[in-house]
Protein backbone atom coordinates (compact mmCIF):
# COMPACT_ATOMS: atom_id res chain seq x y z
CA UNK A 1 0.00 0.00 0.00
CA UNK A 2 1.45 3.36 -1.02
CA UNK A 3 1.34 6.44 1.20
CA UNK A 4 -1.33 7.90 -1.07
CA UNK A 5 -3.44 4.73 -0.75
CA UNK A 6 -2.96 4.80 3.01
CA UNK A 7 -3.96 8.45 3.38
CA UNK A 8 -7.00 7.81 1.16
CA UNK A 9 -8.04 4.92 3.42
CA UNK A 10 -7.60 7.10 6.52
CA UNK A 11 -9.66 9.91 4.98
CA UNK A 12 -12.39 7.45 3.97
CA UNK A 13 -12.55 6.09 7.53
CA UNK A 14 -12.66 9.64 8.94
CA UNK A 15 -15.56 10.51 6.64
CA UNK A 16 -17.40 7.38 7.80
CA UNK A 17 -16.92 8.38 11.45
CA UNK A 18 -17.99 11.97 10.74
CA UNK A 19 -21.12 10.87 8.88
CA UNK A 20 -22.13 8.70 11.84
CA UNK A 21 -21.29 11.14 14.65
CA UNK A 22 -21.42 14.59 13.05
CA UNK A 23 -19.62 17.61 14.49
CA UNK A 24 -19.77 18.66 18.13
CA UNK A 25 -18.06 15.88 20.09
CA UNK A 26 -14.70 15.89 21.85
CA UNK A 27 -11.51 15.15 19.92
CA UNK A 28 -10.98 12.01 22.00
CA UNK A 29 -14.28 10.51 20.78
CA UNK A 30 -13.30 11.01 17.14
CA UNK A 31 -9.80 9.64 17.78
CA UNK A 32 -11.08 6.43 19.37
CA UNK A 33 -13.74 5.88 16.69
CA UNK A 34 -11.29 6.58 13.86
CA UNK A 35 -8.77 4.15 15.36
CA UNK A 36 -11.53 1.53 15.56
CA UNK A 37 -12.49 2.05 11.88
CA UNK A 38 -8.85 1.85 10.76
CA UNK A 39 -8.33 -1.38 12.69
CA UNK A 40 -11.44 -2.81 11.02
CA UNK A 41 -9.64 -2.15 7.73
CA UNK A 42 -6.74 -4.28 8.98
CA UNK A 43 -4.42 -1.34 9.60
CA UNK A 44 -2.00 -1.09 12.52
CA UNK A 45 -2.85 1.90 14.70
CA UNK A 46 -1.00 3.35 17.69
CA UNK A 47 -3.01 5.81 19.77
CA UNK A 48 -1.35 8.66 21.67
CA UNK A 49 2.05 7.84 20.13
CA UNK A 50 4.84 9.43 22.22
CA UNK A 51 6.96 11.91 20.26
CA UNK A 52 10.34 12.38 21.95
CA UNK A 53 12.57 15.37 21.33
CA UNK A 54 16.21 14.49 20.75
CA UNK A 55 18.62 17.35 21.24
CA UNK A 56 22.29 16.64 20.61
CA UNK A 57 22.65 13.35 22.51
CA UNK A 58 19.90 14.04 25.03
CA UNK A 59 16.50 12.41 24.63
CA UNK A 60 13.79 14.57 26.16
CA UNK A 61 10.47 12.94 27.00
CA UNK A 62 8.48 16.18 26.83
CA UNK A 63 5.00 14.73 26.83
CA UNK A 64 4.33 15.33 23.12
CA UNK A 65 1.90 12.81 21.69
CA UNK A 66 0.54 12.22 18.21
CA UNK A 67 -3.14 11.24 18.23
CA UNK A 68 -2.68 8.31 15.84
CA UNK A 69 0.19 6.66 14.01
CA UNK A 70 -1.11 4.44 11.20
CA UNK A 71 1.01 1.61 9.79
CA UNK A 72 4.03 3.31 11.36
CA UNK A 73 3.92 5.75 8.42
CA UNK A 74 1.20 8.39 8.76
CA UNK A 75 0.53 10.72 11.69
CA UNK A 76 -3.13 11.68 12.18
CA UNK A 77 -3.99 14.63 14.41
CA UNK A 78 -7.69 14.87 15.28
CA UNK A 79 -9.20 18.23 16.16
CA UNK A 80 -12.73 19.34 17.02
CA UNK A 81 -12.60 23.11 17.00
CA UNK A 82 -14.31 25.96 15.24
CA UNK A 83 -11.22 26.90 13.22
CA UNK A 84 -7.80 25.38 12.71
CA UNK A 85 -4.88 27.65 13.56
CA UNK A 86 -1.38 27.71 12.06
CA UNK A 87 -0.07 26.15 15.28
CA UNK A 88 -2.14 23.01 14.56
CA UNK A 89 -0.37 22.54 11.23
CA UNK A 90 2.99 23.31 12.86
CA UNK A 91 2.29 20.65 15.49
CA UNK A 92 1.81 17.96 12.83
CA UNK A 93 4.87 19.17 10.91
CA UNK A 94 6.95 19.00 14.11
CA UNK A 95 5.74 15.48 14.88
CA UNK A 96 6.64 14.38 11.36
CA UNK A 97 10.10 15.89 11.64
CA UNK A 98 10.78 14.45 15.11
CA UNK A 99 9.59 10.95 14.12
CA UNK A 100 11.30 11.06 10.71
CA UNK A 101 8.03 10.52 8.81
CA UNK A 102 6.86 12.00 5.51
CA UNK A 103 3.08 12.42 5.71
CA UNK A 104 0.53 13.55 8.26
CA UNK A 105 -3.16 14.35 8.22
CA UNK A 106 -4.74 17.13 10.25
CA UNK A 107 -8.47 16.43 10.52
CA UNK A 108 -10.92 18.89 12.06
CA UNK A 109 -14.14 16.98 12.85
CA UNK A 110 -15.95 20.19 13.80
CA UNK A 111 -16.66 21.02 10.13
CA UNK A 112 -20.13 20.42 8.69
CA UNK A 113 -18.50 18.93 5.59
CA UNK A 114 -15.43 17.00 6.68
CA UNK A 115 -13.49 17.49 3.43
CA UNK A 116 -13.23 21.18 4.41
CA UNK A 117 -11.42 20.15 7.61
CA UNK A 118 -8.72 17.87 6.18
CA UNK A 119 -5.16 19.04 5.56
CA UNK A 120 -2.32 16.87 4.30
CA UNK A 121 1.06 17.89 5.69
CA UNK A 122 4.34 16.63 4.29
CA UNK A 123 7.93 16.49 5.49
CA UNK A 124 10.58 15.80 2.83
CA UNK A 125 8.00 13.90 0.78
CA UNK A 126 9.25 11.64 -2.00
CA UNK A 127 6.76 10.50 -4.63
CA UNK A 128 6.51 6.71 -4.74
CA UNK A 129 5.63 6.44 -8.45
Q: What's the pLDDT band for 1 if we cut at 50, 70, 90? A: confident
**pTM for the full predicted model:** 0.90
- Given this model, what pLDDT does residue 112 score? 94
Q: How far apart are CA 127 and CA 9, in angstroms?
A: 18
Residue in 31, 109, 111 with CA at minimum distance from that of residue 75: 31
- Tell me the domain boundaries of the chain: 3-122
Write the pLDDT tens digit of every residue in 107-126: 999 999 999 999 999 987 66
- Given this model, what pLDDT does residue 60 score? 80
CA distances (Å), origin 118, targets 52, 57, 69, 72? 25, 36, 16, 20
Write the pLDDT tens digit of every residue in 41-96: 999 999 998 888 888 888 787 768 999 999 999 999 999 999 999 999 999 999 99
Amino acid sequence: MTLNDLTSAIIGAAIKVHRALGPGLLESAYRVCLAYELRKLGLQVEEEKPVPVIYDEVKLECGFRADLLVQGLVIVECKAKEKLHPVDKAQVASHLRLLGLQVGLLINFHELLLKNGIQRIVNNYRDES
